[in-house]
């Protein structure tokens, strides 16, 4: 297992959980989900830069998956709470 493999799992698990709730999630909640995983990826990127980590292939893959996830979320229509 590579050191940052957990990031790929994080994005994939978040995407899966989102898809399970897609008919009941609000736009605000969807934004919070994508912002949360994005924040963790940014923090990990800063940590890798601070530690001069040169093995960031998993981070790049996780960021790519996150970009795809955010693009898909942008296409969904969401539950409106009245």
Model-level pTM greater than 0.75?
Answer: yes
Identify the three-state secondary structure at position 21: coil
What residue numbers bound the domain in which 52 lies? 5-75
CA distance 5 to 55: 11
Residue 15 lies in a domain: yes
The predicted-structure confidence for 13-71, as pLDDT tens digits, reads as follows 999 999 999 889 898 999 999 999 999 999 999 998 888 877 788 999 999 999 999 99
Q: What is the mean pLDDT of residues 66-80?
A: 86
Q: Does any domain span residue 45?
A: yes
> 82 in a domain, yes or no?
no
Does any domain span residue 80? no
81 inside domain: no
Q: Using CA atoms, how far apart are residues 23 and 32, in angstroms rounded to an integer? A: 16
What is the tally of structural domains in the chain?
1
1 or 16, greater pLDDT: 16
């Amino acid at each position: 297992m590579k050191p940052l493999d957990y990031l790929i799992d994080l994005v994939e698990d978040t995407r899966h959980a989102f898809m399970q709730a897609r008919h009941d999630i609000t736009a605000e909640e969807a934004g919070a989900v994508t912002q949360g995983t994005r924040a963790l990826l940014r923090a990990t990127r800063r940590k890798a830069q601070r530690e001069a980590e040169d093995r960031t292939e998993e981070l790049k893959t996780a960021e790519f998956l996150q970009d795809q996830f955010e693009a898909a979320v942008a296409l969904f229509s969401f539950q409106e709470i009245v």
